[in-house]
Structure formats: C-alpha cells, structure tokens
Amino acid sequence: MNEYRPAIPTDLVDAALGAAERLGKDVADVPVPAIAQEAGISRSTLLRRIGGSRQALDEAVRAAGVDPGGQRPVRERAIEAGAQLIGAHGLAAFTLEAVAARAECSVHSLYASFGGRDELLRAIFEAHSPILKLEKVVTGPHVDLRQTVTRVYRLLAEALNREPRVIPAMLAEALARPNEPLLRALLQHFAPRVLVEAGAWLAEEVAAGRIRDLPLPLLVHQMVAPVLVHFLARPAIQDIPGVDLPGLEETCEVFAEAFLRAVAAP
C-alpha cells in the first residue's frame, strides 16, 4: 500500500523557506516550531497540515525548486553524481536531469550552483583530472628535468586509473566525436592555460640546452601521448595471459627516460 502524503500548501513551503533564510540554515535543519512560528500557526497545526511527516514538507520544498539540504552541499553531490554518470555511461548520459536525480536535488539547484551544464562539466573535470596538480608541478621549481617529467607521468597515471573513470570516458568521446560542443567548450577553457604554463616550463628547458627546440604542440604530444595510450589500454591488457606489465612507478620512469632520449638536445 502506498503511503498517503498530503499536498503541502504553498504558504507552508514559503514559511519553511522564510524560516531557513531568517535562521541562516538549510530548510531540513530548521526546527518544526520555527516553521510553525513563521507560518503563524501552532506546531500541532503545522504537523496536522503536513500529514505528520516532516519528509513531506521537505519534498514539497524540493519540488518548488529549492534543495532542502540536510545532506552534503549540492555542489559536492552534483560533481560526484556527474562523474559517476560519465564514468559508467559516457557523456551521452550527462544531462542535468540525470545528475539531479542521482544527486537527489533539483535541476533548479544545479543551475543555482553552476549556471549550466558546461560549468558543471568543468567542475567535474577539475575534480577528476590532474590539471591543478600539473600546474603546480610545471610552474614550481625544477631541480631535475627527469624528476619533473616522472612526476607529470605519475599524475597522469593516477587520473587515468581513478574511479570513476571520468578522464578515459572524456578522451574516448573526444576521439569519437571531436566536434562535440560540450567537449570543445571544455577544451577552449582549459587548453590555453595548460599550453601557456607547460610552454613556459619547456621553453626554460630549451633555453638551458637540455631539450631540442621543437614546436610546442608536438613537444607536448611527444611527452604525453605514449603515457596516455599505455594507461588507457592498461586495464584491458593487464589480465591477458602472458602479458607481464611493470608496476606504475617503473612504467613512469621508463616513459620519462624514453621521452628525454627522444627530445634531448644534441
């Protein structure tokens, strides 16, 4: 038998929102007496009008387009939910409606937190890609070129092996549909700053005579492409009989040595 839940009057929803704003709390954290006071009725009258269930009132607030709270912030839940959707089903599953359902919030709350789907995808990418850590590595002090390259490879390996597999899913989508508007917007947002910072670091190494003066895009591809291919393919080949893959640390060191030999200045 389905549980009976009464239709919650809009004046009680407004009272819940007003009490939350006045107290500076999420609706779910506002005591029932405070909501009753805001509505100008007694606690018992409020409970009777909402059918004795606080959950019914919170659901009515959510239906009005406001997250009642009582959980982690919408932003955190949405980033996690979006990452799970992309990792499991690809970008085709990444809609605001699907994210809202998985994050247990409203689409209105997502717009309030991110402004739209592009901004939510950026937040997911920042959370699951190594971009922020990579920026620190390439802009930080560079004691040893091989050491720096190896650190870059470790960060790439960590991002490509992380669950949910957001970055592999995005790369697969980029290869299959390079003109996908959502991915092009993401690339246009992040690529310039990565190229500027990586370019400044590599230019220092060229000026120091440690690596050859090659076109920047080709130099970056020479550095990251072999590692990307390996770690994208690694989950599929690591359990094949007869295939004996080295550990992640050794793999990163081998690729760093190969890169430095390939681009070393004469």
DSSP 25: S
4 has a pLDDT exceeding 70: no
User: How high is the mean pLDDT of the chain?
Assistant: 89
Q: How far apart are CA 42 and CA 70, in angstroms?
A: 24
SS3 assignment, position 264:
strand
What pLDDT, on the 0 to 100 scale, is given for residue 21?
80
Q: HEC states along 61-115?
A: HHHCCCCCCCCCCHHHHHHHHHHHHHHHHCHHHCCHHHHHHHHCCCHHHHHHHHC
161, 231 in Cβ contact below 8 A? yes
The model's confidence at residue 6, banded by pLDDT at 50, 70 and 90, is low
30 has a pLDDT exceeding 90: no
Q: What is the fold of 129-263?
A: Tetracycline Repressor; domain 2 (1.10.357)
The alpha carbon dihedral of 210, 216, 218, 219 has a sign of positive
198 has a pLDDT exceeding 50: yes
Contacts of 81 (CB under 8 A, 6+ apart): 99, 102, 103
Tell me the pLDDT tens digit for each residue of 112-128. 888 899 999 999 999 99
In 65-97, which positions are buried (b, 16+ CB within 10 angstroms) versus exposed (e)? Answer: ebbbbeeeebbebbbbbbbbbbbeeebebbebe
SS3 assignment, position 211:
strand
Q: What is the mean pLDDT of residues 15-35?
A: 86
CATH tag for 74-115 (out of 1.20.950, 1.10.357, 1.10.10, 2.40.10):
1.10.10
The alpha carbon dihedral of 79, 84, 85, 87 has a sign of positive
What pLDDT, on the 0 to 100 scale, is given for residue 61?
87
